[in-house]
Amino acid sequence: MTDQRAIIDIGSNTVRLVIYNGPPRAPIVLLNEKVTPRLGKDVAVDGRLSDNAMELALAALSRFALLLRMREISDIQTVATAAVRDASNRAEFLAAVERLGLAPRVLSGEEEAQASAMGVIAAFPGTKGVVGDLGGGSLELLAFDGGNCDPGITLPFGTLKLPALREDGAERFAERVRKGLKHANWKAGAGLPLFIVGGSWRALALHCMQQTGWPLDDPHDFELAPDEALDLFAPLALGEVDGTDPRISSSRRATLPDAAALLGLLVDRLEPSRIVFSSWGLREGLLYSRLDKKTRAQDPMLSGVAAFAADARVSFVTAERVTRWTSAISYEDDDQANGNLRLAGTMLALASLRSEPNLRADQAIAWALRKRWIGLNARGRAMLAMTVFANTGHTDIPEALAPLTSESDFKQAIAWGLGVRLCQKLTGTAEQALEQTALIRDDTRLILELEEPMQALTSNSVAKNLRNLAEWLGLEWSIDFLAKGQKVG
């Protein structure tokens, strides 16, 4: 038996296989492989999938099917989008795909838009906005509010079609986009976030991140204000793409002017409050759509961090106990979101102890800046990193983290990390020790209470870490040994 599941996405530009495992609410990518047959290129010209494009796609699909059989993965969704949907010879192509043992499903424009929106909803739970998904053959736009989606629209503005649409100049192109939106009766989006999905727009995000000196590596959840976006897109639309991020492939680099021109027009027409780039889209939306209501309600950040920490043999239950033990250092304005961040930071701090001591500080920064955490924004990344960093005994804010959140947030995260450090030094996270010791706070003091026989756990190291935490909180400190029969708390 395996918990692996796979999505085969037969798009207008690429054909991709992604294999996932991990928690259903925060799936982890095991394999992500694509080829670029550009199925939609000739469809845009004569309405047919070319023989050469089909041959390239079927060769890739044959490989994917074999890999899936060898890995014994039976949970497979094979979907095709605009190019196959619009092709006059799609029946011939789909029959060939079926002979490979796959079961392709052609998504309608509305289904494609819905799947992309569900991916965004999964990645940004509880939000409201508009999803714009740019593929090779089409552009999908869809408004959503929490878990509810409008039907959405499909426009013929895919990356394979944009070069021809822009040949007559910027004014003519703008007119075509305006008419397309008017014909589809699109009126949503003003004052709402515009969530951006699609490989060409992710490449655009990487370019903008480099141009602005953004310290994070992951384009997921990268944001731009509308005015800033238009300033960055304008030179790109004119073909000025020097200094592009080296992670952008040559094929994606070639699409940047068209992608920037289209997105600039959408920002101008839709008037969003901000532009947010999402690495989750159609494929993740297909997975999320199959989850039950209870699983959908889970925090994807906590699910992802818990799975990551479990690989380091840190249990969720242990992390919860440590978080309760350190609850005396909670700030008055803590809410559920901060509580989840603190629990996640505790898990990562404990997980970091599995690494060599001289690696832990650098590891904290790497986890914050480079690892993809779904459901976690720049502020959350900084606070998680600072919790792990402080757990190593450091209270100075690394330069790379400083732009990501406020000084008060860093101060709070440092307190969390120092608390985890004290708890681990005292109890070793042993259940009995956690139950028979306690950290108490009053107006002026931070008090460590210990029942018999837990007094033996104290040491110079414990006293030093208690003092460091108390001083950070601006409190005096003491250690109280309770009499036999007395209980902590």
What is the fold, at CATH topology level, of the domain defined by 300-481? Hypothetical protein af1432 (1.10.3210)
Confidence of residue 331 (pLDDT cuts 50, 70, 90): low
Is the pTM here over 0.75, yes or no?
yes
Confidence of residue 479 (pLDDT cuts 50, 70, 90): very high
pLDDT, one tens digit per residue, over 250-274 is 888 889 999 999 999 999 999 999 9
User: Do the domains spanning 5-106 and 110-284 agree at the CATH topology level?
Assistant: yes
pLDDT, one tens digit per residue, over 344-378 is 999 999 999 988 988 888 888 888 888 899 999 99
Confidence of residue 146 (pLDDT cuts 50, 70, 90): confident
Half-sphere exposure of 373 (CA within 13 A, CB side): 31
User: Residue written as tokens 């490449």?
Assistant: 203
pLDDT confidence of residue 169: 95
Annotated domain spans of the chain: 5-106, 110-284, 300-481
pLDDT confidence of residue 336: 66
pLDDT, one tens digit per residue, over 197-244 is 999 999 999 999 999 999 998 999 999 999 999 999 999 999 887 777
Confidence of residue 183 (pLDDT cuts 50, 70, 90): very high
> Cis bond leading into 453, ω under 30°?
yes
What is the fold, at CATH topology level, of the domain defined by 5-106? Nucleotidyltransferase; domain 5 (3.30.420)
Is CATH 3.40.228.10 what the domain over 110-284 is classified as, yes or no? no
